[in-house]
Chain A
Amino acid sequence: MTGTLPSSRISRCAAARSGTVLIVVAGLSALLASMTIAFLIRQRSSAEESTQFEQDIQARIMLIAGCNYIQETSRIGYDDGVDPYHREAFGWVDVRQLNADGTPMIGPNCRGSAPTDVVPLFQTALSEVSGQHGAAVDRPSWPAIGGVARCPMYVMQRPPYAVQLTAAYNPISTDPSSLYFGQPLQVNPDPQPVVTNPTSSQGTLTDFIVGDPTPRGNSTSMAWFRAYRDGPDTFVITCGAGATLGFNNWNEVVGAGFAQQFTSDPSLFQSYLQQEMRIWYRVQWSAAVATPDVHNIKNAWIDGASDDYYISFPMDSSQSIRSQSHCKNMGGTFRYIERLRIAPTWY
């Protein structure tokens, strides 16, 4: 007779062992689960930090955009609603003329019908709601002093004058049997527009010129800047990353007629505002661009001689590496860029 256990005893022992394994497995599973949860929490925290980091960088990119905007609008000019073309401007501070008290004339101005005519390209009448005084109209429109340019950034479906990304429209033939083997011939225009054959009709030419400014969906509500002109040539640039479209407060949203963009819900706008990153810079524009010295070739040739010569490469020379043509700038420069430590009252 063998020493076998009664079946009831066997099942009790097996149950005890199964229970032990179950406890061990459950414990280890709980440990792994807790580690996984801790890991996921850590990753979520990192993702949130990354979002903040990304906002910081996007806001900083807006500083460049804001500075470029101020430079370009200083001189490229504006549509004045009267003429079918841009009116060329002459700087935020008009370098052509001083006021009677010796202060520089405030721009941007354009040239009138006579050479001495100076036509302002701005209106000083109050026409916009800043929100600082409730819903009252209390500030002039851009580009008058006190005005604000609000610029949400996005990628257009097709920007104006878009050209194809094709690298080589006229590749040199590598076919030995070709009549044009090895010959660099420009048989196709280079570059070519994205819209096909723009000169075939007025409609497609307009398409080429205007582009398709519809925002690409994945590029909206990411970054914006607004420029507040607080003096003749000084500006507060607010750089933001978030979904407020650069509005400062709900009254401004309503005053500008953009309430529908936020489903007419002030709390939604407020939540966007709280999640947003904003940084402020003050800048001063300068009309100065470059020096009039050019590569005075004759003076460079006769090293050591004491005669002065004016034989120079022209300003637009592309041949001379020492020519100013290598630093083109049509928009002016900045005397300073100052990051503001706290938000100013007006911006």
Chain B
Amino acid sequence: MTAARRAPAAAYTLIELMLAISLGMVILLTMMAGFRVASQSITTVNRLASENQLMRLGCQMAHEHLDFWTDYDDPDNPSYQLLRSKDMNGGLPFTPMSNVSPYNQGGSPELSTGWNPAELWPMADPRVWWHGNVAEKCNSNVLLGRYSIFGNTANTVTVTGSFGSYGQVTVLHSWLYNQLWSLHNALGYYGYFDYAPANTLYECYQPWSGGQTNDDGEPLLLDTPGGAFASTEGPQYYPHGLYRLSMGTAMGLTSPTNSYAINSLSQQQYYYLDYQGNLPTLLRFNQDTTDGSSLVAQSPATWPQVQISMQRFIKTNRFVNVCRVICTSPITGQVMQLVWDGIGSSLRGARLQRNQIGSGGTTTSGWATWDDDPSTVASNTATLDDP
């Protein structure tokens, strides 16, 4: 048998095959590993990019809330206008002024009552002056004079007190005290401070009423330390300005995400957050005043969960809007939180954005329209501020 008669080899030898398979596997494994690393890197980067994207969106949404207050009242959603009603104790932050402080034009400017947005409260106007005793205490013996005869919510007063009667007098100034008294429970305390000018002394004079006013007619509610309006910080027994009212306390807007927000008394409270640590009050303050919503209501389980929250309150004379964007990773559980104090529309500004039902025959709320073109200004719709 000769070599030439042998059939030529038609396949690899075993050694060739083993080597080829081994080398092929090494190449494939290397490539797979490389591909896997690249894929994982891109997945990680994509996940981080998604987190960043969602957090950016969260920040922009928080800015939208700052400007349009839709987390408190949504003009496009009638079922989310919870803060527009009123009860026997007063109104809520988005209650139309016509419902809580209706404007009535009196026979003279001093006798007008209720909210008129056109009033500029100029200091040159004696109606705006506070004609009271700035040192008069809630339990004053009135030895320094009876100031309720200079200004009073009633334009004629039968002067009397716990000690006897004096007679009837005509009062020159009624406008300011009527404003201060009608606003005190119209929109809650936050709304009270938002609407009243920064130099407001939150006290007025009324006809004397046993147990309700001091002997001069000052409502006890407004200056009794530890009462429903003024804290014991100090304590200050006489009329307060915003600084003293908010130095030891915070006045917050109760978020509509709390069911009790629709009770007007929940909007008429302060939180004693003073020098000492007061953890229970602080926790309740945060619970009452912080709202929260998911950026994306329904999303894949692999997406980061992003929560947006807003907290609006007044502390030490400052109007504070705390924005929070909280991002939770579904993979690691890591929580990232961005917190900042933002500036945007004020409460009154937000109310001016909202259409008043009935304005121009409208039957829905929606957004108010406003433009400064003289040819179209007449078609601007009425807002929650208008009579």
Contacts and interface: CB of A to CB of B under 8 A. Distances in A.
Contacts of A133: none
Interface in B81-96: none
Contact of A95 (B122, B236, B242, B367): B122
A46 interface: yes
Interface string A49-74: 11001001000100110010000000
Interface size class on chain A is: 35 or more
A209 interface: no
Interface in A97-141: 97-98, 102-105
Nearest to A230: B372
Contacts of A42: 46, 49
A38 B43 CA distance: 12
Nearest to B12: A13
A46 B54 CA distance: 11
A160 to B, nearest CB: 26
A304 B139 contact: yes
Interface string A276-305: 000101100011111111011001100110
Nearest to B350: A338
Nearest to B109: A102
B336 interface: no
A344 B35 CA distance: 55
Nearest to B214: A306
A31 B36 CA distance: 12
The secondary-structure label for the interface of chain A is mixed
Contacts of B60: 53, 56
B121 A288 contact: yes
Interface in B113-166: 120-125, 133-137, 139-141, 143-144
A277 B123 CA distance: 38
B287 interface: no
A233 interface: yes
B200 A296 contact: no
Given A104-B122, A306-B140, A308-B143, A292 B199 contact: yes
Contacts of B52: 46
Contacts of A282: 349, 352, 370
- Could you tell me the dominant secondary structure of chain B's interface residues? loop
Interface string A313-347: 00000000110101101000111111111101111
A299 B135 contact: yes
Contacts of A56: 60, 63
Interface string B347-387: 01110110000000000000100111100100000000000
A35 B42 contact: yes
Interface residues of B, number: 76
A306 B373 contact: no
A300 B60 CA distance: 47
A290 B35 contact: no
B67 interface: yes
Nearest to A292: B134
B135 A286 contact: no
B27 A21 contact: yes
B241 A291 contact: yes
A176 B344 CA distance: 56
Contacts of A295: 234
B68 interface: yes
B317 interface: yes
Interface in B296-344: 316-317, 342-344
B345 A338 contact: yes
B372 A32 contact: no
Contacts of B244: 293, 322
Contacts of A324: 241, 243
A347 B179 CA distance: 33
A5 B9 contact: yes
A206 B236 CA distance: 50
For B121, B345, B346, B349, the residue with the greatest tally of chain A CB atoms inside 10 Å of its CB is: B349
A193 B227 CA distance: 52
A49 B58 CA distance: 13
A28 B35 contact: yes
Contacts of A3: 6, 9, 13
B39 interface: yes
Interface of B: 3, 6, 8-9, 13, 20, 27, 31, 34-35, 38-39, 42, 45-46, 49, 52-53, 56, 59-60, 63, 67-68, 109, 120-125, 133-137, 139-141, 143-144, 197-201, 234-244, 247, 316-317, 342-346, 348-350, 352-353, 367, 370-373, 376
Given A236-B372, A303-B237, 14 more contacts: A32-B35, A39-B42, A46-B52, A46-B53, A98-B122, A290-B317, A293-B241, A306-B140, A308-B135, A308-B144, A326-B317, A333-B197, A337-B349, A338-B352
Closest 3 CB pairs of A and B: A291-B241, A338-B349, A288-B197
28 contacts: A24-B31, A42-B49, A46-B49, A53-B59, A53-B60, A60-B342, A60-B343, A94-B124, A104-B124, A281-B345, A286-B198, A291-B199, A293-B134, A293-B201, A293-B244, A299-B236, A300-B236, A308-B133, A308-B141, A324-B241, A327-B243, A333-B198, A337-B345, A338-B352, A341-B68, A344-B370, A346-B373, A347-B372
